[in-house]
Structure 1
Amino acid sequence: MQDKRFQIANREALIGVALVMINFAIWFGFAYGLGSGDPTEYQYILGFPAWFFYSCIAGSIFMIFLIWLTIKIFFKDVPFEDGEEEI
C-alpha cells in the first residue's frame, strides 16, 4: 500500500503545475494580446503600457491571491516522519 503522503504530494504538485499554467496564460494573453499593436496607440495605466500593467503587475497580484487561496483550501500539513498517525 502506498503511503498517503505521496498521494497528497502528487495532488499538490499537479495543483502547482496548474497554477503555473494559469500564470503563463494570463501573462501571455495580456502581453501579446494587448502589446501586439502599434506602440504609438498603446493605452497607459499608472504610466505603464496597459499590456505590461495587466500582464506583470495586475497578473502578479491576482496570482499571489490565487496561490494564497489555493493553499488555504487544497493544501494540508503532512508529517515527514514515518509512523505518524493516519493522515
Structure 2
Amino acid sequence: MKSRKKQINKEIIVTVVLYLFYFLWWYYFAYVYGNSSDVEHFKYIFGLPEWFFYSCVVGLVVVNILVFILVRIFFKNVSLEEEDDKL
C-alpha cells in the first residue's frame, strides 16, 4: 500500500510539473514573445503568426514528446487490488 501511494504521488508531481512547463511555454510565446499589437510587424511561419506557431504548434509537439518520454521513465502499472502491493 505504501509503495503504491509513493508511485502515485510521483506520477502526480511529474504530471503537474509537465503541465506547468506547457503553460509557461504557451504563455511566454503568446504574450511575451509576440507582444506586438500591430499586425504589420508580425512574422509568419506556414501562414500562421510566429508567436502562435511557437506557442501552439511547436509547444504541442514538444510537450507530446516530453509526455511520451516521461511516461516511459516515471510511470508504472499499479494494481488496483488491495492485497497486491508490488510495483
* Fold shared by both chains (TM-score > 0.5): yes
Alignment correspondent of 1:50: 50
| Structure of higher RCO (CA pairs closer than 8 Å, 6+ residues apart) | 2
Alignment correspondent of 1:79: 79
* Cα distance in 2 for residues equivalent to 1:42 and 1:26: 19
Q: Work out whether 1:67 is the aligned partner of 2:55.
A: no
SS of 1:86 mapped into structure 2: coil
Misfit runs of 4+, over 3 Å: none
**Aligned alpha-carbon RMSD (Å):** 1.2
Between the aligned residues of both structures, percent identity stands at: 35
Q: Work out whether 1:9 is the aligned partner of 2:5.
A: no
* Cα distance in 1 for residues equivalent to 2:75 and 2:10: 9
> Do the aligned partners of 2:29 and 2:51 also contact (CA within 8 Å) in 1?
yes
- Displacement, 1:28? 0.5
In structure 1, runs of 5+ residues without a counterpart are none
In structure 2, runs of 5+ residues without a counterpart are none
- Residue range with higher mean Cα deviation, 8-17 or 77-86: 77-86
Which AA in structure 1 matches 2:25? Answer: I
Aligned residues: 86
